Amino acid sequence: MATTADIKNGLCIRHNHDLFTVVEFQHVKPGKGPAFVRTKLKSLTTGKVLDNTFSAGHKIETVRVERRQYQFLYNDEMGYHFMNIQDYEQVTIPEHLVDSPQFLQPEMICELVFNAEEESVLTCELPPFVELEVTYTEPGLKGDTATNTLKPAKVETGAEVKVPLFINQGDRIKVDTRTGAYSERAK
């Protein structure tokens, strides 16, 4: 058992009969009254984010998780199929466990987060940025680079991303998989 002093970003805990990961936390010591820890927790089963406050010294139950490199193979009606790049073991997971499945490309290396005690997949995390080719967008006009106006563009995986006006069909762009936003033009 750990206490609130052990809380840090990314820590996986069992709380209210569910598994949560700590997204952010803040130790608060008010001038009057006892200290407490304000946290933002993300459920690993539902994906919901909730705010929770623990009193200082409160006991929390930590869960040991392991991150393993897996390669995405394909998806079908059974789910998303991944292969371990060390021992070639394959695993199938449902779509709701994949973060940003619209940016997933064949042969992409992802991190699968496993509950080490039960050997079950908790979530699949894509790399923070992916390079994608723009397959369709309205053509940009010369001189349209002065404003921060965005236009919709369809990328090779079928996802739609808002891009600046100077991006044209055939350009390669970097997309932030955590937010789904355009980052920069790929070099």
Q: pLDDT tens digit string along 11-58?
A: 999 998 888 989 899 999 998 889 999 999 988 877 788 999 999 889
Least confident span in 39-48, 119-128, 145-154, 155-164:
145-154
- Same domain as 120, residue 70: yes
Write out the two tokens for 121.
Answer: 């997949």
Range of the domain at 88: 65-125
Which of 21, 46, 62 is the endpoint of a domain?
A: 62
Start-to-end CA distance of the chain, whole Å, equals 48
Residue 77 and residue 41 share a domain: no
The CATH number of the domain holding residue 141 is 2.40.50.140
Q: Give me the residues paired with residue 79 across strands.
A: 76
30 and 71 share one domain: no
Q: Are residues 54 and 25 in the same domain?
A: yes
Please give the C-alpha separations between residue 140 and each of 82, 167, 179, 181, in angstroms, as whole numbers: 38, 7, 24, 19
Residues 121 and 133 in one domain: no
In this structure, the answer to whether residues 89 and 73 fall within a common structural domain is yes
Structurally, the chain folds into a number of domains equal to 3
Averaged confidence pLDDT in the chain = 89
Structure tokens at 17: 């009969």
CA distance 94 to 49: 20
Tell me, what CATH number does 29's domain have? 2.30.30.30
Q: What is the rounded CA–CA span in Å between residue 43 and residue 15?
A: 9
Same domain? 15 vs 42? yes
pLDDT digits (tens, 9 = 90+) for 97-138: 888 899 999 899 999 988 888 888 888 889 999 999 999 998
Nearest to 91 by CA among 122, 53, 48: 122
pLDDT at 82 over 70: yes
Asked whether 85 and 67 are in contact (CB, 8 A), the reply is no
Same domain, 146 and 109: no
Assess whether 75 and 108 both reside in one domain.
yes
